[in-house]
Amino acid sequence: MDGPLSIALYSAALFSVTEGRAYSAAEYRAMLSAAGLFADGPMVGTLVHCAVLPGKPKP
């Protein structure tokens, strides 16, 4: 797993509580692409350690 320690710790917490994990921006972009969308700009950080990745339908 790549990335800062805080992300790795968050991913470990998700796994221990929900069996889930945190995804990277590249992984979210790949999910959007698989759904027929493309990321329209950078990830925008929020005040609660989350981010928004705007997406649009592929032309």
Least confident of 10-14, 25-29, 52-56: 10-14
d(CA 3, CA 27): 13
49: helix, strand or coil: coil
Q: What is the pLDDT of residue 21?
A: 67
0.95 exceeded by pTM: no
Element (H, E) at 57: strand 55-57
The end-to-end CA distance of the chain, in Å, is 33
Single-letter code of the amino acid located at 12 = A
Q: Is the pLDDT of residue 6 over 60?
A: yes
Q: What is the pLDDT of residue 20?
A: 65
Q: Is the pLDDT of residue 34 over 90?
A: yes
Q: List pLDDT tens digits, range 11-22.
A: 788 778 766 667
Angle at alpha carbon of residue 4, lines to 9 and 50, rounded to 5°: 75
Strand partners, 38: 56
